Amino acid sequence: MEDLVMTKSEEKLSLNFIQEIIEEDLRTGKWDGRVHTRFPPEPNGYLHIGHAKSICLNFGLAEQYNGICNLRFDDTNPIKEEDEYVESIKEDVSWLGFDWEDRLLFASDYFEQMYQYAVQLVKAGKAYVDDLNAEQIREYRGTLTTPGRNSPHRDRSIEENLDLITRMRAGDFPDGSRVLRAKIDMASPNLNMRDPVIYRILKASHHRTGDEWCVYPMYDWAHGLEDSIERITHSICTLEFENHRPLYDWCLRELGVYHPQQIEFARLELTYTVMSKRRLLELVQEGHVSGWDDPRMPTISGMRRRGYTPESIRNFCKAIGVAKFNSTIDIARLEHAVREDLNKKAPRVMAVLRPLRVVIDNYPEGQVEELDAVNNPEDAGMGARKVPFSRVLYIEQDDFREDPPRKFFRLSPGREVRLRYAYFVTCVDVVKDAQTGEIVELHCTYDPATRGGDAPDGRKVKSTLHWVSADHAIEGEVRLYDHLFGKPNPDDVETGSDYKSNLNPYSLETLPSCWVEPSVVDWKPGSRCQFERLGYFCVDPDSSDGKLVFNRTVSLRDTWAKIEKAQKKK
Ligand code: ATP
Ligand code: MG
């Protein structure tokens, strides 16, 4: 019994502040026991890892509390929005493992209703048409320390406002010539409350409503109404909207409509990357990356192409939790989550990225042996496979040193090492290019008694190398990635330069001629594996029938695990 109580209170302790709010609401019956959240992307770019956090949070809370979550496109700005983005967002949300069922919604479907609500506000004397231009409106708004001034048009009659808004909608006025503003308080200490613009004239085609509209609602007006129309209970958004909340509440209160609760949490920021869609778009448009799904991008599509699993992203979002203050997360934590998941799932494969030819002098010419290799030492259920061994092999150039430094235990002249799953071999000769002096080939002998990788006489070797059989291996291209930016905070720039000056020029290294064991021959884009000793890799869509292209998803070195260990020791 006591155990149970302990568990319960421990569980309570680990609730985040949003879960606490929801549980309290469930207890008091505030929303009749409903939990209804939404993920409201604007279709003006591809989703990034920050959005993944919001998706996991909104869909996750709905799941946890037996509620539902809408996928709602906040498509109120016709200029930047496109169907391509809508499609990519749907794909990304599904891929992450979430289901909006029949709740795929578009704010643009509510344009008529939002407009009618605006008319209602005008009729109540709570909104007016202003003829000031954008610059004048800014000027009249005042500053944090000085109050704003009323527009000369603020006291127009309700009749005149109704006439003007009707004509605005009818297209009688040019873009930017008039706006509809909420009539709140030009002296409010909160600048958002100083008669915010709620409608603007914009003669632009919308990706869904075409030319039906030439007035479009502003975010602060639209968002609360969208939530209200959909009967959302908890409207979760990022901290920068905290001082928009009074306006969110004002609009819904003045209209007397259903009124969800807005709750703000800290947005996710990651080291070595930028996350604003505007910047990501710039990187794409200026060709700094190959596209939104470039494997170096922090986009969900980029991570998918890179080989990240949806589970690893979900686990990461869970691990970092939800907070009320902004902080930047070490990107090593995300990579740690990817490794943890792939370690369990990814079959092991041998591949040589920078090949060095090795001839086994005493191995019979023309002989081929199929040796047993384990697919995943973490999971016996994943079985085993055969790898061909023959007289000519490739090993990594890095695994040989003619003149080995202390602590270099890999292959060197006269030294014996193990070839994984195969034999002990000893280097007997080094062949160099006569002109360049470059090492082009090694000669080794093998000990037939060590088949499988163990010496019956019990003698030990200090290292085990991966290898492939030259005649059997498949040639492939490998792309190695490093962080897109060279600085943990790319926005930290010298005067006069911008975040792009911190792009890492070495973020992509292409190795055009690598050799992979033949078991991968039929692999398709998206297949993942661990190249033993090298990292986790994933087949890229650029692969063709003749040539596989592999992306390195993540290396094996886990810097976050080290940090965590050190923290635990303290
Ligand atoms: P950006 O500032 O990059 O353009 P945005 O916030 O304008 O992003 P939206 O499409 O409006 O992009 O975002 C949809 C939802 O995702 C919003 O609820 C927003 O709060 C959330 N979101 C966006 N970025 C992050 C982030 N870095 N961390 C957590 N949630 C985020
Ligand atoms: Mg936004």
Beta-strand (E) ranges in 421-543?
424-432, 439-447, 464-465, 468-469, 474-481, 508-516, 528-531, 535-539
Record the tokens describing residue 420, joined without a space.
Answer: 């994984």
Task: Report whether residue 223 contacts ligand 1, using a CB cutoff of 6 Å.
Answer: no
- pLDDT for 6: 44
- pLDDT for 566: 82
pLDDT band with cut points at 50, 70 and 90 for residue 402 = very high
Quote the ligand 1 centre to 262 CA distance (angstroms). Answer: 15
Quote the ligand 1 centre to 461 CA distance (angstroms). Answer: 54
Quote the ligand 2 centre to 276 CA distance (angstroms). Answer: 10
Fold of domain 17-267: Rossmann fold (3.40.50)
Distance of CA 144 to the CA centre of its chain: 36
Mean pLDDT of 442-468: 96
- pLDDT for 560: 83
Query: Is residue 474 within 8 Å of residue 521, measured between CB atoms?
Result: yes
Mean pLDDT of 382-405: 97
Task: Report whether residue 295 contacts ligand 1, using a CB cutoff of 6 Å.
Answer: no
Closest CA to 532 of 463, 472, 443, 484: 463
- pLDDT for 13: 59
- pLDDT for 4: 44
Q: Structurally, what CATH architecture does the domain formed by 351-466 represent?
A: Beta Barrel (2.40)
Task: Report whether residue 156 contacts ligand 1, using a CB cutoff of 6 Å.
Answer: no
> Structural domain boundaries of the chain?
17-267, 277-347+477-569, 351-466
Among the bound ligands, the one closest to the CA of 268: 1
Residue of the CA atom closest to atom 26 of ligand 1: 50
- pLDDT for 491: 92
The kind and range of the H/E element at 36 are strand 36-39
Task: Report whether residue 186 contacts ligand 1, using a CB cutoff of 6 Å.
Answer: no
pLDDT tens for 106-164 read 999 999 999 999 999 999 999 999 999 999 999 999 999 999 999 999 999 999 999 99
In the predicted structure, residue 36 carries a pLDDT above the cut 80: yes
- pLDDT for 11: 52
Q: What atom in ligand 1 is closest to the CA of residue 236?
A: 18
pLDDT band with cut points at 50, 70 and 90 for residue 477 = very high
pLDDT band with cut points at 50, 70 and 90 for residue 261 = very high
Closest CA to 228 of 125, 124, 128, 120: 120
Residue of the CA atom closest to atom 23 of ligand 1: 51
pLDDT tens for 191-241 read 999 999 999 999 999 999 999 999 999 999 999 999 999 999 999 999 999
Query: Is residue 412 within 8 Å of residue 427, measured between CB atoms?
Result: yes
**Catalytic residue list:** 42, 267, 277
Task: Report whether residue 338 contacts ligand 1, using a CB cutoff of 6 Å.
Answer: no
**Pairwise CA distance, residues 335 & 481, whole Å:** 12
**Pairwise CA distance, residues 280 & 262, whole Å:** 28
Task: Report whether residue 298 contacts ligand 1, using a CB cutoff of 6 Å.
Answer: no
Quote the ligand 2 centre to 335 CA distance (angstroms). Answer: 27
- pLDDT for 12: 55
- pLDDT for 561: 81
Closest CA to 93 of 40, 156, 29, 146: 40
pLDDT band with cut points at 50, 70 and 90 for residue 3 = very low
In the predicted structure, residue 167 carries a pLDDT above the cut 50: yes
- Residues of the chain with pLDDT > 70, as a percent, come to 98
Q: Measure CA of the first residue to CA of the last residue in the chain; give whole Å.
A: 33
**Pairwise CA distance, residues 237 & 322, whole Å:** 12
Class for the domain spanning 277-347+477-569: mainly beta
CATH topology match: 277-347+477-569 vs 351-466: yes
pLDDT tens for 356-382 read 999 999 999 999 999 999 999 999 999
Task: Report whether residue 219 contacts ligand 1, using a CB cutoff of 6 Å.
Answer: no
Q: What atom in ligand 1 is closest to the CA of residue 54?
A: 30
Number of neighbouring beta carbons within 10 Å of residue 445: 17
Quote the ligand 1 centre to 237 CA distance (angstroms). Answer: 8
